[in-house]
Chain A
Amino acid sequence: MSDSTGRVAVRKTYKLFIGGKFPRSESGRSYPVQNSNVALASRKDVRDAVLAARAAVKGWSGATAYNRGQILYRVAEMLEGRRDQFVGLGVPDDEVDEAIDRWVWYAGWADKLTQVYGNANPVAGPYFNLSAPEPTGVVGVLAPAEPALLGLVSVLAPAIVTGNTVVVLVAEASPLPAITLSEVLATSDLPGGVVNLLTGRPAETASWLAGHMDVNALDLTGVADPELAAEWERAAAGNLKRVLRPAAGPVDWSADPGVGRMTAFLETKTVWHPKGV
């Protein structure tokens, strides 16, 4: 291919995003989308991604909330700068705007959620007693197919802002904005492994993610088929993953996102200590 000046363009290879790197699928497979060959992730890629996500938990959940908030805000900055790439992939302008704003919204939550959802408890005795939310750990996410960018950002940002790490199975039909988003994430000071994005066929790989014993939670938001959602929820019961089911009806992704997607992947920890002299 060449542009109007006769120069031959450099095409992009669309790969997976695992542990901060961009590998091809270990299976060597790909599938065509919008004139590009996109990596078709395998069971082994899912396992590699879970390993990377687990390895990133300690650093990311241990980072200060201020730091996590700044990094999410940095994602918004990088996305703003690369907006033309998304528009070029067919993402509508206003969807890109909303996706950028969503990162900003969640960035601001990083250092507030504990204040809003944690509290001191007035127990009937001489004890200090404090409850605070903590991240669940590794969250498996089935991203919605549409809207490709805003839907993905809307499930991704709330899961990681609190300190979780994620393995996202990108919807089969719309992988290009996801891969381009992973290039944004890779240049936003987000530590490798916090977000892992796998393109391909969730119908093929989701059962391995849902049944993986080192994944702590599963977001089924992007699953359109209720039978599959039920099957993967059953698989998730093996190690009692926290499961966020698909919404009962259509989702308005432009609406105020609320806090439910953050609180779904939080654990309350309560610490007691006696008071005395």
Chain B
Amino acid sequence: MFEYAPAPESRAVVDLKPSYGLFVDGEFVEPADGGTIKSINPASEEVLAEVAEAGPADVDRAVRAARRAYDEVWGPMPGRDRAKYLFRIARIIQERARELAVLESLDNGKPIRESRDVDVPLVAAHFFYYAGWADKLGHAGFGPDPRPLGVAGQVIPWNFPLLMLAWKIAPALAAGNTVVLKPAETTPLSALLFAEICQQADLPPGVVNILTGAGETGRALVEHDGIDKVAFTGSTEVGRQIARSVAGTRKKLTLELGGKAANIVFDDAPVDQAVEGIVNGIFFNQGHVCCAGSRLLVQESVYDEVLASLKRRMARLRVGDPLDKNTDIGAINSAAQLDRIRTLAEIGSSEGAERWSPPCELPDRGFWFAPTVFTGVSQAHRIAREEIFGPVLSVLTFRTPAEAVEKANNTPYGLSAGIWTDKGSRILWMADRLRAGVVWANTFNKFDPTSPFGGFKESGYGREGGRQGLEAYLDV
């Protein structure tokens, strides 16, 4: 293995304040009851900043600001002008890209290579894409003059903090809604920087409101009578609670929830490409990806070859400082998530699967988990059924395409799936039968603002991205 000299990205580009208020009606304000949360760097456990914890009074204030902005400014504004604000935001994101990337890696623990090359460019692209829709909604296939819903309450997860914000805010604003968004408890900082970007873009006050806080803040937002739309990305369990809480209301709901994607490798697949896809599928973003390819299904005839190659490749993954440009796997986002990964991995061993990780030196401070593969996994094992949301791959085998489909679909989830084969007709045959919202054939974990993303079954409903992503924010 090569020795690499450390190549850390400079933190100097990020100017963190010791504490942040809530972003309501265009200004940073103190929370009504003064509660705070510390946001820490998961790679070092140092406190990065204190943020406010919004309570019900703050939620109410933000929703009223959003309603006023909807009624008086954003709703009546011509689409072409809404578009220009969104284009402005996209441009400022591009201009401040490095600052956003470094901040995202600091707060989330993801490698700078990913925040710099994947997250932030996709964020800018998402705003750019939806900006263009704002004055073309009548051509989107939802009737000649589709109307916005009003005020959207949006709750996002910690795995792609800024990208999930973009997926929520860009289509909502393009369609003419105003928003109150709650970032995740452990990763609030890039959303607060985004609030500054809204100020810099002269976005009218109240169009975007950012409330930091934990689960209770999210609950207060989702249950608030003054919102017309709930959009949530996160766990299936919380998704269920939200679906129950909006029952009987007129709130429109879209949910992007968990997954347990099958990544299916046939015996005619180019092994090196497939192994790169397997590694990207499960170790991208430390496996904190709802569409991660966490169940590898390998055709029996190439099992030994694929596993040997996969282990060789895993031994070359570099785990460590998220700000180092050579890092492949960064820090686990929180102590709580690390606990969950450890618990499920231990269950994997105790249920009889065989655990393997490459020799891997982990830093002393912070939250870390070595890339891990389980072999000898059966469909009944919890590590084959439950979303681990970490760098842990469960390997199963199959003999026929029909068996691969059967096993791939044997899950309550249905977010994504991968197929690796050289045979075109087989790709299309498989793609027809896989019950998943996104099917990657001979690739994995690709995202684009023009491409709809979202699940079947218990992975949620509604789509984000593409023309279809507008529907979530239109009264259609």
Contacts and interface: CB of A to CB of B under 8 A. Distances in A.
A229 B248 contact: yes
Contacts of B452: 121, 131, 268, 270
Given A238-B240, A240-B457, A267-B437, A272 B248 contact: no
B443 A274 contact: yes
Interface stretch (B4-12, B209-217, B461-469): B461-469
A32 interface: no
Contacts of B473: none
A136 B455 CA distance: 11
Contact of B443 (A233, A236, A272): A272
A61 to B, nearest CB: 9
B322 interface: no
B467 A240 contact: no
Contacts of B432: 62
Given A116-B141, A239-B457, A274-B442, A268 B240 contact: no
Contact of B431 (A230, A231, A239, A271): A271
B52 to A, nearest CB: 31
Interface string B431-468: 11000111111110010101111101110110100111
A131 B466 contact: yes
Interface in A172-226: 216, 226
A268 B459 CA distance: 13
Nearest to B424: A273
Contacts of A230: 247-248
Interface string B229-261: 000000010011101100110100001010000
B220 interface: no
Contact of A273 (B438, B443, B460): B443
A36 interface: no
A248 B251 CA distance: 12
Nearest to A260: B476
A248 B451 contact: no
A162 to B, nearest CB: 14
A276 to B, nearest CB: 9
Contacts of B468: 131, 268
A123 interface: yes
B248 to A, nearest CB: 3
A270 B255 contact: no
B446 A125 contact: yes
A121 B442 contact: no
A269 interface: yes
Contacts of A237: 240-241, 243-244, 247
A119 interface: yes
B408 interface: no
B439 A269 contact: yes
B125 interface: yes
B307 to A, nearest CB: 24
B437 A226 contact: no
B302 interface: no
B3 to A, nearest CB: 33
A268 B471 CA distance: 12
A208 B451 CA distance: 37
Given A119-B467, A129-B451, A273 B427 contact: yes
A62 B429 CA distance: 11
B138 interface: no
A268 B455 CA distance: 8
A239 B141 CA distance: 29
Given A226-B248, A239-B412, A121 B450 contact: yes
Given A234-B244, A240-B236, A270 B439 contact: yes
Nearest to A276: B442
B451 A240 contact: no
Interface string A233-275: 1101111101101001000000000001000000111111110
A118 B269 CA distance: 29
A240 B247 contact: no
B434 to A, nearest CB: 8
A159 to B, nearest CB: 16
A117 interface: yes
Interface string B123-156: 0010000000000000001000000000000000
B436 A269 contact: yes
B258 to A, nearest CB: 10
B166 to A, nearest CB: 15
Residue of A62, A129, A260 with most partner-chain B CB within 10 A: A129
Contacts of B457: 216, 239-240
A243 B239 CA distance: 14
B438 A124 contact: no
Given A127-B443, A237-B240, A268 B125 contact: no
A151 to B, nearest CB: 22
A122 interface: yes
A271 B431 CA distance: 7
A273 B442 contact: yes
A240 B255 contact: yes
B91 to A, nearest CB: 17
B250 A248 contact: yes
Contacts of B236: 240
A123 B443 contact: no
B402 to A, nearest CB: 12
Given A127-B446, A240-B257, A240-B458, A271 B439 contact: yes
B448 A121 contact: yes
B451 A131 contact: yes
Report, nearest first, the 5 A-B pairs whose CB atoms are least far apart.
A230-B248, A237-B243, A233-B247, A123-B448, A234-B247
Interface of A: 62, 116-117, 119, 121-125, 127, 129, 131, 136, 216, 226-227, 229-231, 233-234, 236-240, 242-243, 245, 248, 260, 267-274
Interface of B: 125, 141, 236, 239-241, 243-244, 247-248, 250, 255, 257, 412, 427, 431-432, 436-443, 446, 448, 450-454, 456-458, 460-461, 463, 466-468, 476
Given A123-B446, A239-B457, A272-B438, 8 more contacts: A123-B448, A129-B448, A227-B248, A234-B244, A237-B244, A240-B460, A269-B431, A271-B441
